[in-house]
Structure 1
């Protein structure tokens, strides 16, 4: 004998699955990446909300800047850009922390690489990561390096590159000096959050576009 309750349960389960699929974002893993308005595009980027948090200590920079080039690419992850300059803070607006001034120095030789992994055609949003990050930070008598990767998303309509960490894309502390006790230790994973407004070409007023297919 057929069980009408089981049949109803299967119908509900099927409807729920269909709804979940229809609500899922239109993400795709592209193998071709096209950068506009023409490739390559030189770009500059600026941020006013950059925070590196390490062992509960926020290291905050009121300004940050980056520059480099974006270009067409194939493959996944697609190598769609190089960051050749990066800076945090300025003489007028230095980086700070609750325990004292912070002095970050970015090393972009070799360039940090921007790579795309997914593209949402509905929102015009690229998801990916920046690899090859290398920066040295000094806080009081503590000096240490931060190396590794960060997770990023870039939306064409706003020109905003949002930077964060996740379980896969992490930064790691290395070469911590003897004065870093209680501040940083080798192997620590700081979190980094920021939103960069990207302009390209340099000197222009519009943001570049990235499309994955």
Structure 2
């Protein structure tokens, strides 16, 4: 079952250096996040609790816009709403826009999805092993600019 999670909020990222980071892969750690407007299957509203440290990884950079294509790995989050709770873990694809300081997640879910549901108690709406799609835009706090292969 592919399910859809749509959110917005804020993330706080830290990095080993302040300013520009020219490294081949891991560019920042996401140490906290806050979420608003979270909706899942059948328009279910829920809260999200960030767990652990997530890793922001750069894969490529658009040389004109400096938007970074990448992924967040090590994702662990608990979702909970009326009659529904579950853990979502894994990795999610997305982009980071240096100018706007926004992290946009566009994880397709289904068989190619990088996130997986566990510990689901969700009235049959979410089940263990589901790979949900996940779309969200986060404003990023912290002094971070990301560049790949300059």
Q: So what's the TM-score if we normalise by structure 1?
A: 0.57
User: 1:40-189 counterparts in 2 under 5 A?
Assistant: 61=7, 63-70=8-15, 71=17, 72=21, 74-75=23-24, 78-89=25-36, 95=38, 98=42, 101-107=45-51, 109=52, 111-166=53-108, 170-177=114-121, 180-189=122-131
Using a 3 Å threshold, how does the CA distance of structure 1 residues 122 and 168 change in structure 2: closer, same or farther? farther
Q: Which runs of 5+ in 2 are unaligned?
A: none
Q: So what's the TM-score if we normalise by structure 2?
A: 0.77
Indicate the structure (1 or 2) with the bigger Cα radius of gyration.
1
Residues of 1 paired with 2:107 and 2:39: CA distance? 21
Q: Deviation of residue 123 (structure 1)?
A: 2.1
Residues of 2 paired with 1:132 and 1:149: CA distance? 6
Q: Which runs of 5+ in 1 are unaligned?
A: 1-53, 202-207
**Matched pairs, number:** 142
Q: Deviation of residue 140 (structure 1)?
A: 2.4
Give the CA RMSD over aligned residues. Answer: 2.6
Q: By percentage of residues, which structure has more helix?
A: 1
8 Å Cα contact 1:59/1:102 also seen in 2: no
